[in-house]
Each structure stands twice: as structure tokens, then as C-alpha cells.
């Protein structure tokens, strides 16, 4: 069961292995009911042996995640951290070097706390030109290789660009897309959860 606890959604059995999800609106079920979101769907599928702690906040940037992560790691001591951030930085045209640096800090903080990391990649429309959007998309595989972490290349693969799977803003997936997102994260996460 998912319950609200101190700004993070937690499903926690006493002996459960903890997975912290540090994300933005895509993981915070923006525009849909929380129970329809991919995190809740994945939580239900994984069962009681895995506790998903959803610390995602709509509008979150990498810098906001960097500010919150130390306390979340200290409080929850997760076995795995899922980092689903950067999209808002890219949509706001933040410098690519800054986004990359802050994502790297999120990875190293998690690793220093003994957690495995799943980095969830994002792509953005070419509002700031093709060079910027290509450079942005390349941040994720580059970091995953450099730090030896798991990578889900693009959370909205097969969803972005499909009007029937997107909300009216064309940025956020609707309820119909959430099961696909949950399955993609599950596939990327499973190797990190093997004994």
C-alpha cells in the first residue's frame, strides 16, 4: 500500500528493500490521480519485498533534487536511487554543463551512500535548437557510462509524440501511458534488485 509520509510517498514493510525515486512531474503523477501514476503501478507490481519511496516533486530541477537528496538518503537508506531529473532544466534552457554536473553529483552522493543508481534519461523538443536538444539527450548515456550506473535511455519512449498518450499540454503523459512507463522502469531496475 502507498501512503503519504513526510513529502515522500512510501510503501514500506519492515524488511523491504528500499528504492528511492527522485523525480519531477513525470514521476509525481502530474495531472492524473496519484494511484494512476507509474510509481504506484510499479509499487503494486513489485510487492511487499520492495518498498518504493516516491520523493518526486512537480517542477523539480536537478539543483532542487541535489538540495533534497542528502536528507532523503539519511532518512531512508535506500538500496537503489532512481534519478529521473533534468527535464525541467532542459525545458528552461539551463547550461548543459551545469545539468551534467548536478546529475553527476546526484549519482556520486547516492553511490557514496551505498546505493545502486538507475539514471532515467530524458529528451526535450528542439526549442533551443537541435544542438542543445542533442547535447541534452547525450548527457544521460555519457554519465551512465562514466559512473557505471544503470540507464533507462528515455522514459517516454513510445509515448512522446503520441497525442492519445499525452495530456493536453503535450508534455505530460496521461493515465493511459503510465503502465508503459512502469514496465520500462521495472525492466531497467530489475538487475539492480537481483540478490
Q: Which residues are catalytic?
A: 25, 169, 172
Strands (E), 43-104: 50-54, 80-84
Helix (H) or strand (E) holding 100: helix 96-112
Q: Are strands 8-10 and 3-5 parallel, antiparallel or unpaired?
A: antiparallel
Interatomic CA distance for residues 53 and 110, integer angstroms: 14
Interatomic CA distance for residues 185 and 21, integer angstroms: 11
Interatomic CA distance for residues 106 and 118, integer angstroms: 11
Give backbone dihedrals phi and psi of 184, rounded to 5 degrees, phi first. -65, -45
Task: Tell me the CA distances in angstroms from 124 to 9, 29, 164, 177, 184, one per residue in order.
Answer: 27, 19, 19, 18, 19
Strands (E), the chain: 3-5, 8-10, 17-23, 50-54, 80-84, 116-120, 150-152
Amino acid at each position: 500500500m502507498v501512503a503519504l509520509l513526510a513529502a515522500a510517498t512510501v510503501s514500506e514493510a519492515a524488511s523491504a528493500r528500499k528504492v528511492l525515486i527522485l523525480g519531477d512531474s513525470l514521476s509525481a503523477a502530474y495531472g492524473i490521480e496519484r494511484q494512476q501514476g507509474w510509481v504506484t503501478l510499479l509499487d503494486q507490481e513489485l510487492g511487499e519485498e520492495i518498498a518504493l519511496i516516491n520523493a518526486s516533486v512537480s517542477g523539480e530541477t536537478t539543483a532542487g533534487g541535489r538540495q533534497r537528496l542528502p536528507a532523503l538518503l539519511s532518512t531512508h537508506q535506500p538500496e537503489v536511487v532512481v534519478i529521473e531529473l533534468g527535464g525541467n532544466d532542459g525545458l528552461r534552457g539551463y547550461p548543459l554543463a551545469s545539468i551534467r554536473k548536478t546529475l553527476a553529483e546526484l549519482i556520486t552522493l547516492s553511490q557514496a551512500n551505498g546505493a545502486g543508481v538507475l539514471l532515467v534519461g530524458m529528451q526535450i523538443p528542439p526549442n533551443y535548437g537541435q544542438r542543445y536538444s542533442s547535447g541534452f539527450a547525450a548527457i544521460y548515456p555519457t554519465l551512465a557510462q562514466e559512473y557505471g550506473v544503470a540507464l533507462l535511455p528515455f522514459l517516454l519512449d513510445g509515448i512522446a509524440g503520441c497525442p492519445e498518450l499525452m495530456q493536453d499540454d503535450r508534455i505530460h503523459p496521461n493515465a493511459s501511458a503510465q503502465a508503459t512507463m512502469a514496465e520500462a522502469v521495472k525492466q531497467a531496475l530489475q538487475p539492480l534488485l537481483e540478490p
